[in-house]
Amino acid sequence: MQSTMQDVPLTVTRILVHGTVIHGRAQITTWTGDGTPRRRSFAEAGARATRLAHALRGLGVAEDDVVGTLMWNNAEHVEAYFAIPAMGAVLHTLNLRLPPEQLAWIVRHAADRVVIVDGSLLPLLAPLLPKLDCVEHVIVSGPGDRSVLADCHARVHDYEELLAAQTADAYPWPELDERRAAALCYTSGTTGDPKGVVYSHRSLYLHSMEINSAATFGLKQGEICLPVVPMFHVNAWGLPHAAFMAGTSLLLPDRFLQPAPLAEMIERERPTMTAGVPTIWQGLLAELDARPRDTSSLGAVISGGAPCPPSLMKAFEERHGLRVVQAWGMTETSPLGSIAHPPAGLTPEEEWPYRVTQGRLPASVEARLAGPDGGFLPWDGTSAGELEIRGAYIAGAYHGGADGEPTRPEDKFSPDGWLRTGDVGTITPDGYLTLTDRVKDVIKSGGEWISSVELENHLMAHPEVAEAAVVAVPDEKWGERPLAVVVLRDGHSAEYEALRAFLGERVARWQLPERWVRVPAVPKTTVGKFDKKALRRQYAEGQLEVTVLPPVRAGE
């Protein structure tokens, strides 16, 4: 029997047309820092997106060409978000925080023909342009010193002048296959070259529907969303698309991401929800503690990108009445992988164990835990395995090399196509995910995994320990065993045996490290994390004075 349903593609074009017509009066408010935000309706932004598409076509942009954006969160970036995919081209959001060499690498790797750049970011782009042969046109939006582009090989245009020169006629948006490429975002991985994730029209549409569901973010008409997460990070977590689908107004901070202007725009513009990373919320909390503002409009503060310290969540709630909701995702997951709404009907105290997890899996995301021996583990809340996920808005490959074919590195994708997240964690029977480690930091000991993070957290709870890092080191018998690297507090001199006994009260005996070393400080990466690679190298090169305790025996 054949289905009799229409075969209508799920496209960004549909979201654009719906948002600009049905919700034409919703607003995009862009913060300017001078007390006069730039306000534009969805209808106006839609009309401008039409002009942008005409302009890009005039510059020779054809279907499948890549257009880069080096922009903050602002209305013009939203226009590019819709115009570029809707005309059949590919939006490439450029991460302005990447090291310049990496930024140049991804522009070349993606073969951006046009770059739209905020005037304020010209000092970043201009020095790179001589290395970017692929870029034929640079379109500059907003104020900024354009003289830095004087010798550039690309043709330079002003965004507003370009739009003003176009017809106001409707753009003949092509009917697109929903599996066609719509947007491209590179992960800023710490190892190897950046990897490009190519979102399809279908995946962006489905992700928008998922985050508009009442069970997740639940965007609604009449509300105002403040995406602090940059539009160059996984499409600002999909919020601009979702907002156009739901008719939710957008409040965009442009480059004013410091705590003081964020607090001011929240008080003045009264957003109903916001989303960003914990470090932003840490800064905002300090600002609100120092200079209290009216933030009562905010129904939810969504935190993702890194685990949110429970102390930060509690401080927001107790001191400012704001509810922080944790969510988890990756560039490869569009990004909504899970969201930590607790089950209904619990007291606030009962909710905490759920709220500090990475969250519950939505219907569009399938998950499984791959164990150390390759089998899959039960969802019992304790068995820890590598999280693998599957779904229509989950990446199954990366943008490829010169031949344009997608690549599927074995360590990132399973043979049956699931994404290997590189995260180790547990899942409860009702689908709450807790991530504890990165796979590369886990100690694979005799067919079992030992969580380095768990050992570190227990050690750092010891009153004499200032810092502790645990890394895997090779072991003839077990494959790998943990090496405990500790920094004692000034004036303290705890014995390794005492520290191990302390650990022994908290974890299984077979997990206890034999190898211990005391250092003045744990080496750190540029973003302040423990540099475990450096520690492993120092150990391998014999630079650490390791004490080996006898293994703990049964009955001890």
Residues 58-117 that bind its own copies (CB under 8 A): 64, 66, 90
Closest CA to 45 of 70, 67, 19, 69: 19
Query: 261 burial class (0-12, 13-18, 19+ CB within 10 angstroms)?
Result: middle
Distance CA 73, CA 81 (A): 11
429 interacts with its own copies by CB under 8 A: yes
Size of the site for its own copies (CB under 8 A): 79
* Least CB distance to its own copies at residue 405 (A): 7
Return the H-helix or E-strand segment holding 20: helix 12-21
Q: Which is nearer to its own copies, 219 or 384 (CB)?
A: 219
Helix (H), strand (E), coil (C) string for 267-311? HHHCCCEEEECHHHHHHHHHHHHHCCCCCCCCCEEEECCCCCCHH
Q: Which stretch binds its own copies (CB under 8 A): 428-436, 451-459, 466-474, 522-530?
A: 428-436
Distance CA 115, CA 136 (A): 8
User: CA angle, corner 203, sides to 197 and 208, nearest 5?
Assistant: 115
22 interacts with its own copies by CB under 8 A: yes
**Looking at 255, 399, 458, 532, which residue binds its own copies (CB under 8 A)?**
399
Residue 440 contacts residue 430 (beta carbons within 8 Å): no
Distance CA 515, CA 349 (A): 39
Residues in the chain: 556
Residue 231 contacts residue 81 (beta carbons within 8 Å): yes
**Looking at 215, 286, 290, 548, which residue binds its own copies (CB under 8 A)?**
215
Q: Which is nearer to its own copies, 280 or 340 (CB)?
A: 340
- Tokens, residue 487: 């920094």
Maximum Cα interatomic distance, the chain, rounded to a whole number of Å: 83
**Looking at 79, 210, 287, 386, which residue binds its own copies (CB under 8 A)?**
210
Closest CA to 217 of 316, 327, 364, 297: 327
**Looking at 12, 78, 198, 483, which residue binds its own copies (CB under 8 A)?**
198
405 interacts with its own copies by CB under 8 A: yes
Q: Which is nearer to its own copies, 6 or 311 (CB)?
A: 6
Q: Which stretch binds its own copies (CB under 8 A): 386-394, 515-523, 526-534, 545-553?
A: 386-394
Q: Which stretch binds its own copies (CB under 8 A): 216-224, 291-299, 304-312, 464-472?
A: 216-224
* Least CB distance to its own copies at residue 111 (A): 9
- Tokens, residue 296: 């009562």
Distance CA 473, CA 475 (A): 6
Q: DSSP letter string over 487-509? A: EEPTT----HHHHHHHHHTTS-G
122 interacts with its own copies by CB under 8 A: no
Footprint of its own copies on residues 280-319 (CB under 8 A)?
A: none
Q: Which stretch binds its own copies (CB under 8 A): 46-54, 290-298, 424-432, 509-517?
A: 424-432
**Looking at 344, 402, 508, 554, which residue binds its own copies (CB under 8 A)?**
344
426 interacts with its own copies by CB under 8 A: no
Active site amino acids: 187, 332, 444, 449
Footprint of its own copies on residues 160-179 (CB under 8 A)?
A: 179
* Least CB distance to its own copies at residue 213 (A): 4
Distance CA 112, CA 90 (A): 9
412 interacts with its own copies by CB under 8 A: no
* Least CB distance to its own copies at residue 199 (A): 6
Q: Which stretch binds its own copies (CB under 8 A): 5-13, 162-170, 256-264, 304-312?
A: 5-13
Q: Which is nearer to its own copies, 121 or 184 (CB)?
A: 184
Q: Which is nearer to its own copies, 18 or 440 (CB)?
A: 18
Number of C-beta neighbours around residue 189 at 10 A: 12
Q: Nearest 5°: phi and psi at 140?
A: -100, 125
Footprint of its own copies on residues 225-264 (CB under 8 A)?
A: 245-247
